[in-house]
Amino acid sequence: MKVVLAGAGAFGTKHLEGIEKIDGVSVIGLVGRRLGPTREVAGKYGIEHAFTDLSEALKLPEVEAVILCTPTQLHAQQAIQCMDAGKHVQVEIPLADSWADAKAVRDKQEDTGLICMVGHTRRFNPSHQFLHNKIQAGELNIQQMDVQTYFFRRKNINAKGEPRSWTDHLLWHHAAHTVDLFQYQTGQKVVKVNGMQGPQHAELGIAMDMSIQMRTENGVLLTLSLSFNNDGPLGTFFRYICDEGTFIASYDDLVDGKQNPIDLSQVAVSMNGIELQDREFFAAISEGREPNSSVGKVLECYRTLHQIEQQL
């Protein structure tokens, strides 16, 4: 399978590293903002073509699929562009930064019948997969998820500490991970949601702190705290408070409430959530089926984010 990846930054590199471990798939085109740095990354990963224009990369006749790791504001338009070109597409989280754009991508997917998958990585992390399997088997019953998403980003930089050409967002990006995961893990409809935000940063123009609360139809609670002002520890920490115990997940790792590590080595073929996410995308294309975290399956998350935005 021949693939184009757009966005050669910090997260695009994570996808390239994951794809190297997947048989039968090769990235033949890389799209970046500046040609020189894009060619450097392409050379490092043995990618034949480098572009600064996605439309040029889509002209490669052998390309079946595209992975978009571009700025949030481009996601919806580029996902539609890829499907208009007849390509399956995986768009990194968030799908869009508005409810209207999210619906437009879903509509295009339904019109074309192509696979459109969104990079909701938490569905694929072995830590959350382990708990999901327990929940589905009736072995765990969640009472509350308590989640902290904390970074220190008072300047416009990416995960590698490099300057960004766009501004990240606590609601449409970072909250999207948890809002979708909560709905995925509980399997229940959210009936009440509340959001509050702190002051906006004078230069970045975004709120640097946010608090979100949700409740499902059966009374399961989510408490989510997000901050770009937190000076360590950094990352997202998920506390699952269940009838049968407490579990704390951090990306691909999981411990119980007493900090005892839980063996996840048998959960999946890899311990890397990004690699597992890409494996699902390529498998869905090969098997002609809807993937986990398809645009249809994650759309409710964006409806909820829209509700929160109206409150803010």
**CATH (one of 3.40.1190.20, 3.20.10.10, 3.40.50.720, 3.40.50.12780) for 2-119+274-294:** 3.40.50.720
The percent of residues above 70 in pLDDT, for the chain, comes to: 99
pLDDT digits (tens, 9 = 90+) for 15-74: 999 999 999 999 999 999 999 999 999 999 999 999 999 999 999 999 999 999 999 999
Sorted by where each begins, the domain ranges of the chain are 2-119+274-294, 125-267
178, 224 contact by CB (below 8 A): yes
What average pLDDT score do residues 174-189 get? Answer: 97
- Regarding pTM above 0.75, the answer is yes
What average pLDDT score do residues 287-294 get? Answer: 98
Give residue for tokens 């968030």: 94
User: Hey, how many other C-beta atoms are within 10 angstroms of the C-beta on 233?
Assistant: 9
Q: Say if residue 125's pLDDT is above 80.
A: yes
116, 108 contact by CB (below 8 A): yes
Q: Say if residue 164's pLDDT is above 90.
A: no
pLDDT digits (tens, 9 = 90+) for 216-265: 999 999 999 999 999 989 999 999 999 999 999 998 999 999 999 999 99
- State whether CATH 3.30.360.10 applies to domain 125-267: yes
Give the pLDDT of residue 167. Answer: 75
145 DSSP β-pair partners: 222, 240
Give the pLDDT of residue 88. Answer: 98
Mean pLDDT, the chain, as a whole number? 96
What average pLDDT score do residues 79-96 get? Answer: 98
Cβ within 8 Å of residue 147, ≥6 positions away: 178, 222, 223, 224, 225, 236, 237, 238, 239
Band (pLDDT 50/70/90 cuts) for residue 162 is confident
What average pLDDT score do residues 267-294 get? Answer: 97
- Burial of 3 (C-beta count, 10 Å sphere; 0-12/13-18/19+): buried
Can you say whether the dihedral through the CA atoms of 88, 6, 75, 271 is positive or negative? positive
249, 127 contact by CB (below 8 A): yes
